[in-house]
Amino acid sequence: MPKSTLFVCQSCHSNPDRPKDQPTDGTLLLNQLKTSASNPLQSEHLNIQAVGCLWTCGQPCSAAFSAPDKPTYLFTNLLPDTAATALLQFSQLYCDSNTGDIPWKQFPEALQSASIAKIPAVERSRLGSWI
C-alpha cells in the first residue's frame, strides 16, 4: 500500500498581529501531530510533511491528505488545539480505504465544522495520455 501524506501548512496563523517570536498556529498543529502520531502502524502508512504555505491564508489552519490514486482532501479553518487528534483519526480512515473515499458522516466531529475540499484523484492510466 503506498504511503499517504498529510501536508500541514506551517505558516498558517489566525491572528495577523501575532508577535514574530510566537509560533504560528500551523507550527503548533504540526508539533501536536508529530507528538500524537506515535502509533507505529500510522507512521508506517502516513508521512506528515510541513509545507511553507497551502494558500488558504484567510482560513487557517490548513492541512491536506494526498496519496496515489486517491482523492486529495483539503481542510481549512482548523483549530490547532483540537485538529491534531481529528486529523490522525481521519488519516486512519484514509489510509485504510482502497479508494480514499470517506463518507462525510465518518469524518471526526472536529473536521465536520472545517471547510473541506475534495479533489479527485489523477488516474495513473491517464497520465501518459496527458503528457
Q: What is the DSSP letter of 76?
A: E
Task: Please report, rounded to a whole number, the percentage of residues in the chain having pLDDT higher than 70.
Answer: 88
User: How far is Cα 104 from Cα 19, in angstroms, rounded to an integer?
Assistant: 37
Residue 110's domain comprises: 4-130
pTM to 2 decimals? 0.86
Each residue's pLDDT tens digit, 23-51: 889 999 999 998 887 665 556 889 999 99
**Grid cell in block for residue 67:** 496519496
Q: How many structural domains is the chain composed of?
A: 1
| Phi, psi (degrees; rounded to nearest 5) at 80 | -60, -30
Q: Is the peptide bond before 57 cis (omega within 30 degrees of 0)?
A: no
Which whole number is the average pLDDT over 117-127?
A: 79
Beta bridge mates, 119:
72
Are the C-beta atoms of residues 25 and 57 closer than 8 Å to each other? Answer: no
* Per-residue pLDDT at 114 exceeds 80: yes
Residue 129 reports pLDDT greater than 60:
no
pLDDT band, residue 14 (cuts 50/70/90): confident
CATH classification of the domain holding 38: 3.40.30.10
Give me the mean pLDDT over the 111-118 stretch: 93
Give percent above pLDDT 90 in the chain: 61
